[in-house]
């Protein structure tokens, strides 16, 4: 009950969208036991909140920086163990798929991190809790906090459990070489465009309302396809995959 009381006094005054019981459940049921509350709060605090509030909460960018490095290490080690005989180039591409913004966003959504992120008013109005970049960065910050308190073994356990849960929900083996091929669509389209048109694909983007973007892909100066969504990076990947499939470029 002590942690719930601390949450009520140190966290909820700044964030009234959920109850202390909900956050206590997140801390006790999802995260490794005995994490210090100040680290959890730091991991959940976006810089927009730190700038706008009068609290002394540090933002999560330092923890995100640490978590990014720990995630790279854990995933690299896991791929090295799982894919014996696979060359460095393929392992690197598969790792990029596993730690890209879209995948980390899915991991964050699986944990329902959007419920707990502390955002400034501007980000809240712009639906910042749904932005892939903010979700992905917060997930990395959580990992950074776990590493500081519990070390590498607990961090590894946490990460692999989260990927396993995501694979179950998505019906996809994220560590397979097949998933790498799907992720690599943008790189493949670059190769094909240079071969056919003698130039790289051109991507044009513009920001729409509510944090959405429209991205267009042109080949040889001609519009091939366009998509709308919250992540420009993911839209480019989706467009590349669509164009390869529709044009049957191979």
Task: Parse the chain into domains and list their residue ranges.
Answer: 2-174, 184-247
What is the structure's pLDDT at 4? 44
Per-residue pLDDT tens over the stretch 8-46: 454 555 554 555 556 656 666 667 666 777 788 889 889
pLDDT, one tens digit per residue, over 121-164 is 888 888 888 888 899 999 999 999 999 999 999 999 999 999 99
For position 19, what pLDDT does the model report?
Answer: 53
Class of domain 184-247: alpha beta
Using CA atoms, how far apart are residues 115 and 212, in angstroms rounded to an integer? 20
Give the integer Cα–Cα distance in Å for 179 and 190. 19
Q: Report yes or no on whether pTM surpasses 0.95.
A: no
Q: What is the DSSP string of 52-121?
A: HSSS-PPPSHHHHHHHHHHHHHHHHHHHHHHSTT--HHHHHHHHHHHHSHHHHHHHHHHTTGGGT-B--H
Write out pLDDT tens, residues 172-224: 788 988 777 666 777 778 778 878 887 878 999 999 988 899 999 999 899 99
Cβ-Cβ contacts under 8 Å for 87 (sequence gap 6 or more): none
Question: Catalytic residue positions?
Answer: 68, 140
Within this chain, domains 2-174 and 184-247 share the same CATH topology: no
What is the pLDDT averaged over residues 62-68?
98
Bridge partners of 216?
204, 226
Fold of 2-174: Ribonuclease iii, N-terminal Endonuclease Domain; Chain A (1.10.1520)
């Amino acid at each position: 009950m002590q942690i719930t009381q601390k949450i009520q006094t140190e966290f909820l005054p700044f964030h009234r969208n959920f109850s202390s019981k909900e956050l206590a459940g997140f801390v006790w049921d999802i995260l490794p036991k005995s994490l210090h509350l100040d680290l959890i709060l730091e991991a959940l605090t976006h810089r927009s909140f730190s700038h706008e509030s009068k609290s002394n909460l540090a933002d999560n960018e330092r923890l995100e920086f640490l978590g990014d490095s720990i995630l790279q290490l854990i995933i690299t080690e896991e791929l090295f163990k799982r894919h014996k005989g696979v060359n460095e180039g393929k392992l690197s591409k598969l790792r990029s798929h596993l730690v890209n913004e879209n995948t980390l966003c899915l991991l964050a959504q699986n944990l329902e991190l959007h419920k707990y992120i502390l955002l400034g008013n501007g980000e809240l109005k712009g639906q910042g809790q749904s932005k892939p970049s903010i979700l992905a960065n917060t997930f990395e910050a959580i990992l950074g906090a776990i590493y500081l308190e519990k070390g590498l073994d607990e961090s590894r356990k946490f990460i692999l459990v989260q990927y396993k849960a995501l694979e179950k929900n998505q019906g996809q083996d994220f560590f397979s070489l097949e998933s790498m091929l799907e992720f690599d669509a943008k790189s493949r389209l670059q190769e094909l465009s240079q071969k056919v048109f003698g130039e790289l694909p051109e991507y044009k983007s513009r920001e729409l309302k509510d944090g959405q973007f429209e991205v267009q892909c042109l080949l040889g100066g001609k519009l091939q396809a366009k998509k709308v969504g919250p992540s420009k990076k993911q839209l480019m990947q989706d467009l590349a995959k669509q164009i390869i499939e529709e044009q049957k470029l191979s």
